[in-house]
Homo-oligomer: A and B are copies of this chain.
């Protein structure tokens, strides 16, 4: 048995962020950019909106014509026209006004709009009982984005509203970081493809590859399944080398036993241009995790137990995908507070990742820890999320408020 040094979770995150570089960029149409990572800061090439627009249905006026207007001395303006939505508006003269719909273009000369609710109309005359300020009920040209102003910054994950703003500014295509391709290789003589109908004695179906693949898909990565390697260092090494050539990030799943772990370490050491950066993490479950850079590409060796594999990939594997995507590290970690419904014992010196089930009771959210061996998938399917017990804690008492990281939250997005 080989002894090894463990890294703290913070050290592993630091290693990933400093050693994994973003992939190159590609230009794609705006309509396909949702969920992708912006590879360059994008500036507006025009004023948005391109003209002064009304934000209400009303009358476009020169605000100075309404100054001093009151119930006893209302302003009387002549209606000289109706502005059609989407059309160029004709200039407005003194003491006149024009009907304007929401979104309509202000006529040259006008600088404000009086809401239709605040006017009285008689034939072609409009009576206004109070003054409007310059700019009232108007979005000015360039008020949303001025020509040359930043719309979205490099490293941003493009959300619905970011696409909307880029569309408004006439950005039809933009550079995004290429989607990372993740190669997933399972290993273990006991494994058969999950599609296997009838299991021979002693065999199990490979469920980790599918699970990790789904986490990658949610992060926007492409997946290349490398199949199942037997516990044979030669074959295993060849498969890892093939995946290193074809993908941007190699994830090794399985090999839960000490022996398999040792030969994984050995194979990762034998590859050319390889440096093993992490050979264990002070976290439970998931301690026997490996992280290496081989031929410039990240390689992660996950523990074999499904719960450990998923827990580690959520906390660290998704960050490798973010780093490859050039995604800016978010300034805060979204968590949901909940009242702990049961004591959690913990050991000083390692971080504990504890699955919890959430329940709303009397207006409060309660988190019940799901204890159970890390080989049991049911502890994952019953959970809504997990909490991290810091390494300096001996445990957390029932009734305390804990921070839950939800599985559905896309934690690091």
What is the interface of chain A, defined by CB distance below 8 A to chain B?
Answer: 1, 30-31, 34-35, 46, 48-51, 53, 55, 57, 84-89, 101-105, 116, 139, 143-145, 151-152, 157, 159-165, 167-168, 170, 172, 188-191, 194-197, 199-208, 210-212, 214-215, 217-218, 231, 256-260, 304-306, 310, 331-332, 334-337, 358-360, 365, 373, 375-378, 380-381, 383, 406-410, 413
Contact = CB atoms under 8 A, between A and B. Distances in A.
Contact of A375 (B144, B211, B409): B144
B159 A408 contact: yes
Given A88-B200, A104-B257, 15 more contacts: A34-B217, A35-B218, A86-B203, A101-B258, A102-B257, A139-B375, A144-B375, A161-B381, A163-B210, A164-B211, A164-B377, A165-B380, A331-B359, A332-B359, A334-B336
Given A87-B202, A202-B86, A380-B164, A373 B55 contact: yes
Contacts of A46: 199
B332 A360 contact: yes
A140 to B, nearest CB: 11
B161 A377 contact: yes
B304 A331 contact: no
A371 to B, nearest CB: 14
B161 A211 contact: yes
A4 to B, nearest CB: 15
B197 A172 contact: yes
B170 A205 contact: yes
Given A101-B259, A103-B304, A381 B31 contact: no
Contacts of A116: 1, 258
A101 B51 CA distance: 73
A161 B205 CA distance: 14
25 contacts: A31-B210, A46-B199, A57-B257, A57-B259, A85-B189, A88-B200, A101-B259, A102-B257, A102-B304, A103-B188, A105-B201, A116-B258, A139-B373, A144-B378, A161-B383, A162-B381, A163-B210, A163-B214, A164-B306, A164-B380, A167-B206, A167-B207, A168-B194, A168-B377, A331-B360
Contacts of A210: 30-31, 163-164, 167
Copies per complex of this chain: 2
Contacts of A190: 85-86, 103-104
Contact of A408 (B104, B172, B201, B410): B410
User: Across chains A and B, which 10 residue pairs bring their CB atoms closest together, nearest first?
Assistant: A86-B190, A164-B211, A161-B380, A167-B194, A86-B189, A167-B207, A160-B214, A101-B257, A102-B257, A88-B201
Contacts of A211: 160-161, 163-164, 167
Given A57-B257, A188-B85, A337-B337, A218 B160 contact: yes
Contact of A310 (B105, B160, B377): B160
Contacts of A373: 55, 139
B331 A358 contact: yes
Contacts of A194: 30, 167-168, 170, 172
Contacts of A48: 377
Contact of A191 (B86, B260, B380): B86
Given A165-B381, A306-B164, A256 B103 contact: yes
A204 B103 contact: yes
A75 to B, nearest CB: 22
Nearest to A309: B164
A101 B262 CA distance: 13
A258 B57 CA distance: 7
Contacts of A167: 194, 205-207, 210-211
A164 B204 contact: no
A130 B14 CA distance: 42
B160 A215 contact: yes
B378 A165 contact: yes
